[in-house]
């Protein structure tokens, strides 16, 4: 995006009060209602017409409203674009934009934020500060700065984002309901877990602490690099860190990198995620391409630790035992693990137990394929066709309208499928035996 585009699409204010934000959602609701009327009147004259134009119009209107509201509204769009088998393609295409760009804030709003948290203008803190953002995402935007000859990235959170999460999610619910077709109970579990993570994600002081902690814990991983963080130049809504030079995944792939380089980046990603899952039991749960840079010397730069999912033992052991032991050899033990994970529920009839045993065994068997061999080719189209085909099939089954599985699945699935997707885009061949699950407790 060039500079003049940035200026013309700049936001001078963000609806921050509950009244302003709900008015925005109501307006979008009317637009969507209008899209449905337009669709059904056209359908009268053309009964063969499918819903693709309707989905396209709805996706455009919803995305526009979410990107102006920013924060949790846009973050949910970003999450949904990663759950590719949950949404019609038009939504996925539109919401994928939220992984890279949102309209930036104007200069006065930025200065106002600095004055609120530091009592100073950015120019009084840094030797140089570019008031034009280099990129704007769902919760904040990034500016380039310099101090004592060091190039810095300064992330500024949008006003009102942290305070409006709970009310935003209530407003998003009807849209999510319409788009996802989940049951009320399932949607509530989904939204509660999202709210918990988002509240953490808007706490920049927590993010700085975690970023330092995780980058130190992952320091020995090959070909993975992290920026240095500066707590003294950070606050609840501002983060200062080193500027990492590099290309985002799309830009990197556009350079037509060699298979060897794609494998190297893929291996770094695999190791980064599996080291955290199995050695730290907490994982960077936001694997969308905007959070990574590929450096000129072929390393993976990790630039955002806002979303971390901790995995408790009562989830970790039964789940990873299913992916990496011979537990599937015993139907009884498999069902016991499914019960612990609430994939099979206490009131299920014998027929339901059988049905869910068969479906989940197939699903996890598919998901676990990369873990079973020592090497896996993520460029293999057949694997992803099977994976997404299966996901699409079960999303249409009435049996899956009821909530199944403990809440930890929401972010752990999102993390692993997000990882698989990036590795697929890279078409990387990866050694998958570098960090294995620790499941001795149930083996």
Write the pLDDT tens digit of every residue in 80-98: 544 444 444 544 454 444 4
> What pLDDT score does 183 carry?
65
pLDDT per residue, tens digit, the chain (443 aa), is 233 333 335 545 544 455 555 555 455 444 444 444 444 444 445 445 445 554 555 555 555 555 554 545 555 555 554 444 444 454 445 444 443 445 577 788 888 889 999 999 999 999 999 998 887 666 778 899 999 999 999 999 877 777 667 766 776 666 665 555 566 777 777 777 777 777 888 889 999 999 999 999 999 999 999 999 999 999 998 999 999 999 999 899 999 999 999 999 999 999 999 999 999 999 888 787 878 999 999 999 998 887 788 899 989 998 888 887 777 788 998 999 899 999 899 999 999 999 999 999 988 888 889 988 899 999 999 998 888 888 778 777 888 766 678 878 777 887 888 899 899 999 999 999 999 888 764 43
Q: Which among 146, 178, 200 is the end of a domain?
A: 200
> What pLDDT score does 366 carry?
87
CA distance 392 to 78: 19
In a domain, 147, yes or no: no
Q: Are 309 and 418 part of one and the same domain?
A: yes
> What pLDDT score does 98 carry?
42
Q: Are 83 and 189 part of one and the same domain?
A: yes
Tokens representing 374 are 């020592």
In a domain, 139, yes or no: no
Q: Are 374 and 268 part of one and the same domain?
A: yes
> What pLDDT score does 409 carry?
79
Q: Are 185 and 49 part of one and the same domain?
A: yes
> What pLDDT score does 324 carry?
73
> What pLDDT score does 260 carry?
97
**Sequence-ordered strand ranges (E) for 93-137:** 128-129, 135-136
CA distance 72 to 172: 9
In a domain, 124, yes or no: no
In a domain, 218, yes or no: no
CA distance 261 to 393: 35
Note the pTM of the prediction, 2 decimals: 0.75
> What pLDDT score does 102 carry?
54
Q: Are 34 and 182 part of one and the same domain?
A: yes
**Sequence-ordered strand ranges (E) for 297-367:** 300-302, 308-310
Q: Are 183 and 320 part of one and the same domain?
A: no
> What pLDDT score does 307 carry?
78
Alpha-carbon torsion angle 95, 99, 102, 107, nearest 10 = 170
Q: How many domains does the chain have?
A: 2
Q: What is the 3-state secondary structure (H, E, C) of 11-41?
A: ECCCCCCHHHHHHHHHHHHHHHHHHHHHHHH
Q: Which among 200, 227, 261 is the end of a domain?
A: 200
In a domain, 114, yes or no: no
Helices within 368-407 (DSSP H only): 369-372, 381-395
Q: Are 372 and 291 part of one and the same domain?
A: yes
Q: Are 195 and 279 part of one and the same domain?
A: no
In a domain, 433, yes or no: yes
Q: Which domain holds residue 317?
A: 245-443
Residue entry with tokens 């599937």 = 328
Q: Are 256 and 320 part of one and the same domain?
A: yes
Helices 52-69, 18-45: crossing angle, 10 deg rounding: 170
In a domain, 267, yes or no: yes
3-class DSSP state of 142? strand
């Amino acid at each position: 995006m060039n500079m003049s585009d940035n200026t013309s699409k700049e936001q001078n204010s963000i609806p921050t009060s509950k009244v302003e934000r709900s008015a925005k959602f109501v307006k979008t609701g009317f637009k969507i209602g209008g899209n449905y009327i337009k669709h059904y009147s056209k359908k009268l004259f053309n009964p063969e017409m499918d819903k693709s134009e309707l989905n396209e119009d709805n996706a455009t209107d919803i995305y526009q409203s979410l990107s102006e509201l920013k924060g949790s509204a846009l973050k949910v769009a970003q999450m949904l674009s990663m759950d590719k088998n949950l949404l019609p393609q038009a939504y996925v295409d539109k919401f994928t934009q939220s992984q890279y760009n949102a309209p930036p804030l104007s200069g006065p709003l930025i200065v106002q934020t600095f004055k609120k948290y530091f009592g100073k203008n950015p120019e009084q803190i840094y030797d140089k500060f570019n008031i034009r953002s280099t990129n704007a995402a769902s919760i904040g935007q990034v500016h380039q700065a310099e101090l004592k000859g060091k190039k810095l990235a300064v992330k500024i959170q949008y006003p009102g984002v942290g305070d409006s999460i709970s009310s935003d999610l209530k407003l998003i619910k009807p849209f999510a309901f319409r788009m996802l077709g989940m049951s009320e109970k399932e949607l509530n579990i989904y939204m509660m877990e999202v709210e918990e993570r988002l509240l953490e994600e808007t706490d920049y002081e927590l993010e700085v602490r975690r970023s330092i902690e995780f980058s130190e814990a992952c320091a020995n991983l090959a070909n993975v690099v992290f920026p240095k963080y500066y707590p003294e130049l950070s606050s609840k809504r501002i983060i200062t860190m080193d500027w990492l030079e590099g290309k985002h995944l799309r830009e990197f792939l556009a350079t037509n990198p060699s298979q060897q380089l794609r494998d190297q980046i893929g291996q770094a990603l695999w190791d980064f995620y599996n080291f955290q899952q199995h050695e730290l039991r907490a994982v960077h749960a936001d694997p969308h391409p905007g959070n990574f840079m590929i450096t000129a010397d072929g390393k993976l730069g990790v630039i955002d630790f806002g979303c971390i999912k901790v995995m408790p033992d009562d989830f970790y052991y039964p789940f990873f035992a299913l992916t990496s032991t011979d537990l599937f050899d015993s139907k009884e033990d498999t069902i016991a693990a499914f019960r612990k994970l609430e994939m099979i529920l206490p009131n299920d009839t014998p027929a339901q137990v059988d049905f869910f045993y068969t479906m989940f065994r197939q699903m996890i068997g598919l998901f676990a394929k990369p873990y079973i061999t020592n090497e896996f080719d993520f460029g293999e189209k057949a694997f992803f066709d099977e994976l997404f085909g299966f996901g699409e099939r079960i999303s249409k089954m009435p049996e899956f309208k009821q909530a199944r599985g403990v809440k930890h699945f929401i972010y752990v699935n999102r993390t692993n499928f997000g990882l698989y997707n990036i590795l697929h885009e890279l078409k990387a061949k990866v050694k998958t035996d570098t960090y294995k699950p620790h499941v001795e407790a149930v083996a």
